Structure 1
Amino acid sequence: MFSLLKRIWIKKKTICHVGAWGGNFGDSILQNSIRRQLCELDDRIEFVYYNCQKTEFTLELIHQINKSCDVMIVGGGGLIFNRPQDNSKSGWQWNIDINYIDHIKIPIVVYGIGYNKFEYDKNDFQSVTREHLLKTIDKSALFSVRNTGTKEYLVKLGGDASKIDVIPDPGMFAQPSFIKIPGIATNKVKIGINWTTDRENQTFPEPWNVTKERFLCELVKAINKISGKYDIQVFYIGHMGYEFDKAIIEYFKSYLDIKPIIIDECLCEIYPPGDGEKVGYLVDIYRQMDLVLGMRGHSNIVSFGQNTPCIAIGSHRKLRYFKKDIHDEENIIDIREMNNINDKYIYGKIEYNLAHLSAQKMRLIGEFARQRHIEDEFNKKVISLLH
C-alpha cells in the first residue's frame, strides 16, 4: 500500500537517454550502468531510450521530448565517430540538425562521450561536424568526455575547455552477475582474449591483412610460450557472439597449443548481451580472469573495473587515451609500431603482469577509487538538474 501511495505522491522524473543501443556489449553496459548509478541517487527516475544511429531528431520529436522529459542525456560511448551509412545530419552520432539544437528546452547532459575515429579510417567528418560539436558544448548544461584525449581534440576544434569535464567511462562501474564458466579451473592462471573483428582494415597498417596475420602469428607464439612456463587456461571473450567473431575464434582454436574455452560457444545463451542480466554475466567473466588481452575499448574498461589487469592490443586512440588516464601506458601493445613487435615483446608484457599480479591489482584498486570519486561527483550534478 505504501509503495502505491509513494508512486502517486512522488512525481517521477523522466530522462530521455540517447545512445548507440546496437547490441554491442560495450553499448549495453553503458546504458545499464548510467541508469543504475543515477537511480541509486534518485529513485524517482525513469528512462526513455532513443537509438542515436536510427533516430532523426525532428522538430516533432523534440517537441514531444520537451513535453514528456525532464533531462536529455546523450552518451556515453564513442559517439564522435562518422559512419557514412548513418546519414547523420551532424556528421557524428547524434543525428540532429544544427538549427534544431536550440529547440531543446530541457537540460542537455552529454555523458562521457569519446573521439572514436579508427586509426586507419579514411573517412573525414562532414564540414558541419566541428560547428555542431561546438554548438552542443555551448548548449549543454553539462558536457563531459570519457578521456583527456577527447577533451584535447575538442579544444583544438575550438571548444571551451572550461565547459568540458573529463569523467570515467561508466562501463567501468558495471556490476557483475555471477555465472559459472564451464570448464574453468580455479587452480590455473586464466587469460582472456578479446578481439575486434569489425573494421580490421581500419585497425591494422597497410597491407592490413598481411599485418593482421603477422600480428596474430606473433601473439599466438607468445601465448604458447607462456603456456610452457605457467599452468594457464585461455578464454576467448566475444562481445557480439560466435557468428560475429567466427573467423578469429576458429583461428585461435587452430593455432593455440592449449584448447581455448570459447565463451561465445559454451555460454551462447548470454548473447546478444542486451540491457538486462546478460550484461552482468559478461562483466563477471572479466572478473574471473587473471589477465586480459583486449582489443575492444570496453574489454579494457570493464577489466579495470573488475580489478583484472588488462593489456590493450590494437591501434585505436581510445585505448591509448584510456590507458594514459589510468596511468597504465606500459600495458599497451600498439600495432602502429608493428616493426617493433614480435613474440618476445608480447611474451614480455604478459609474463611481467603474471609475475606481478598482486602488485598490479593493488595499483588498480587505488586508481579505481580515484575514478569512482570523479564519477560520483558528476552524477550528483546530473541529479541536481532534475530538482
Structure 2
Amino acid sequence: MKIIHLASFNGNVGDMINHIGFYNNIRKYVTSDITIKQIEIRNYYRSWNEAAFDQNFIDMVNDGDLFVVGGGDFFRIEWDYSLTGTTFNIQNELFDKINIPIVFNAVGVDIIDGNEKNIVKFRTFLENCARKQRCIISVRNDGSYDILKGICTNELMKKILKVPDGGFFTSANYYEHIEIPENKKMIALNITKDRNDEVWGNDADKSYVDFVEELANYISLLLTSNKEYYIVFVPHILSDIEAIYDVLRKIKGVLITTRVSIAPLLNGDITTAEYITDIYRKAYFSICMRYHANISSIAMGTPTIAPIGIDKHIALYKDIGLKNRVVDIRTGKICERLMEKTDELINDYDGFLNENKRVICEMEKECKKYFEQINKLVQDTQNMI
C-alpha cells in the first residue's frame, strides 16, 4: 500500500515522534506492506511558497492508495488568505478530485483570532470533507474536539473522531548518548519560548523573565538536593536553544559545568526523532513543556512533570487523567510548586510508572478502534477495484 502523507517532517522533533507512532499502528492494524511518500506541508505555506495545492498536487496524491493529512496542528484557523482558513489552502473543487481514501489523522484544532469569516471557510471545508464517502476525519485528544463542537453542527460532529495522538505509540532504537553520564539519575528537561504570547498574553516579556528566574532556582535546588541528579536539556526546535541559554545564564557556573548537558538539535529525518525519544526513555523523570516531549516521555514509560501554560496541553493531561502532573506556569511560585511536584513524584515513583502504563493501555484500546476503521476504509476501497 502506497501512502501519500502530507504533514510536517522537517520543522519539529515532535512531528516525527507523532509520525513514527502512526506508521507503527498502520503496520500493526492495517498492513505491514507499505511505502510512504512524505510531502512536506511547510513547502505549501505562504511564507515558504515552494509549492501550491494545485492540479499537480492532486495528481501526486492520486498516485497513491491512501492519502493521510497530519498529525499536526493543521486545523489552526487563523489565515485570512486561505480558502479554508488554515495552512491546507485548497479549493473544494480540487479537493473533490482526490479519488483515493483520505484520512485526516489526529489533527490539532485551534481558533487563533476568532475571525468569523475564517471559521465559516473552515467549517464549509470540513462539511465538504465529511460528505465524501471515503474520508475519515479525526482530531487529537488535546481539547480539539471540544473546540470543533463550538463551531460545528451536531450532525457534522457525528462524523468526526477524537483519537489518541500518534506520539503515544512512538518507538525508538537504542543509542549511546555521550551527553548522559554513567551512574547518574538523568532528568530530561525540555523548555520553550516560542509561544510566550499565547501563554502570558500582553505581559509575556516580563512573565517570561520571571519564569526563567523561577525555573533556574528550581534547577539549582534540584541539583544541590541530590548529587546523583544530572540534567540533560532536550531541544526540539531552534528557539528551545534560546530558552536553554536564558535559563543557564541564571545558574551557578559549577552546576553548569559539572551537572548539565544539552542534547543535539536534530531536526528533519537525521534520526527520525528516535535519538531524542531514547533520551526520554532513559530519563529518571522528564520535565517537559512541549506537547510531544510530554507524550513521548509517557510513551517510553518515564514519569513526567509538566510546567505548561497552553490550555490545549493542559487539556491533554486532563483527557488522559494525569492533570495532577501539571504545574500551570501562568500562576506564581513556580519554583516552589515544581519542588512540591518533584517530591510527590519521588515519593510515589512506582505510582507514576503505573499511571503511565494505565494511560498507554487505555490509548491502545482507543487506537485499535480507530485503525480498524482505517483498515475497513482501505479494504472496502480495494474490494471496489
Asked whether the two chains share a fold, i.e. TM above 0.5, the reply is yes
Cα pair distance change 1:148/1:293, threshold 3 Å: closer
CA distance in 1, matches of 2:100, 2:157: 23
Conserved? CA contact 2:286–2:304, under 8 Å: yes
The one-letter code matched in structure 2 to 1:39 is R
Question: How far off is 1:286 after superposition?
Answer: 0.5
Matched, 1:70 2:65: yes
The one-letter code matched in structure 2 to 1:28 is M
Conserved? CA contact 1:14–1:48, under 8 Å: yes
SS of equivalent to 1:227: helix
Moved more, 360-369 or 126-135: 126-135
* Corresponding residue number in structure 2 for 1:178: 174
* Corresponding residue number in structure 2 for 1:204: 200
* Corresponding residue number in structure 2 for 1:109: 103
CA distance in 1, matches of 2:113, 2:136: 31
Conserved? CA contact 2:108–2:142, under 8 Å: no
SS of equivalent to 1:277: coil
Moved more, 76-85 or 218-227: 76-85
Number of residue pairs the alignment of both structures matches: 361
* Corresponding residue number in structure 1 for 2:343: 351
The one-letter code matched in structure 2 to 1:38 is I
Conserved? CA contact 1:237–1:262, under 8 Å: no
Question: Which residue of 200, 216, 221 maps to 1:220?
Answer: 216
CA distance in 1, matches of 2:269, 2:70: 15
Question: Which residue of 147, 154, 160 maps to 1:153?
Answer: 147
* Corresponding residue number in structure 2 for 1:9: none
Moved more, 36-45 or 366-375: 36-45
* Corresponding residue number in structure 2 for 1:288: 282
SS of equivalent to 1:128: helix
Conserved? CA contact 1:53–1:95, under 8 Å: no
Cα pair distance change 1:29/1:343, threshold 3 Å: closer
* Corresponding residue number in structure 1 for 2:35: 46
How much is the aligned-residue C-alpha RMSD, in angstroms? 2.4
Structure 1: gaps (5+ residues)? 1-12
* Corresponding residue number in structure 2 for 1:299: 293
Question: How far off is 1:276 after superposition?
Answer: 5.7
| Superimposed CA distance per residue, residues 40-61 of structure 1 (whole angstroms, 9 cap, x where no aligned partner) | 4413322222222323322342
Question: How far off is 1:247 after superposition?
Answer: 2.5
Question: Which residue of 122, 127, 142 maps to 1:129?
Answer: 122
| Superimposed CA distance per residue, residues 26-79 of structure 1 (whole angstroms, 9 cap, x where no aligned partner) | 11222333223313441332222222232332234224422x122211111211
Matched, 1:57 2:53: yes
* Corresponding residue number in structure 1 for 2:135: 141
Question: How far off is 1:316 after superposition?
Answer: 1.5
Matched, 1:237 2:207: no
Question: How far off is 1:278 after superposition?
Answer: 4.3
CA distance in 1, matches of 2:11, 2:43: 13
Question: How far off is 1:324 after superposition?
Answer: 1.0
SS of equivalent to 1:322: helix
Conserved? CA contact 1:25–1:273, under 8 Å: yes
* Corresponding residue number in structure 2 for 1:31: 19
Moved more, 103-112 or 225-234: 225-234
* Corresponding residue number in structure 2 for 1:22: 10
Conserved? CA contact 2:327–2:334, under 8 Å: no
Conserved? CA contact 2:145–2:162, under 8 Å: yes
CA distance in 2, matches of 1:189, 1:71: 44
CA distance in 2, matches of 1:377, 1:356: 33
Cα pair distance change 1:229/1:144, threshold 3 Å: same
* Corresponding residue number in structure 1 for 2:244: 249
Cα pair distance change 1:99/1:262, threshold 3 Å: farther
Aligned-residue identity in percent: 23
The one-letter code matched in structure 2 to 1:237 is V
Cα pair distance change 1:356/1:200, threshold 3 Å: same
Moved more, 245-254 or 368-377: 245-254
Conserved? CA contact 1:28–1:279, under 8 Å: yes
CA distance in 2, matches of 1:22, 1:281: 15
Question: How far off is 1:307 after superposition?
Answer: 1.0
Moved more, 133-142 or 274-283: 133-142
* Corresponding residue number in structure 2 for 1:188: 184
SS of equivalent to 1:184: coil
Moved over 4 A (4+): 82-85, 121-125
* Corresponding residue number in structure 2 for 1:375: 367
* Corresponding residue number in structure 2 for 1:3: none
Question: How far off is 1:122 after superposition?
Answer: 5.0
| Superimposed CA distance per residue, residues 150-208 of structure 1 (whole angstroms, 9 cap, x where no aligned partner) | 11111221153322222111112111221222253454332221122323333323321
CA distance in 2, matches of 1:27, 1:166: 19
Cα pair distance change 1:214/1:137, threshold 3 Å: farther
Question: How far off is 1:362 after superposition?
Answer: 1.0
State the TM-score, normalized to the length of structure 2: 0.85
* Corresponding residue number in structure 2 for 1:99: 93
* Corresponding residue number in structure 2 for 1:363: 355
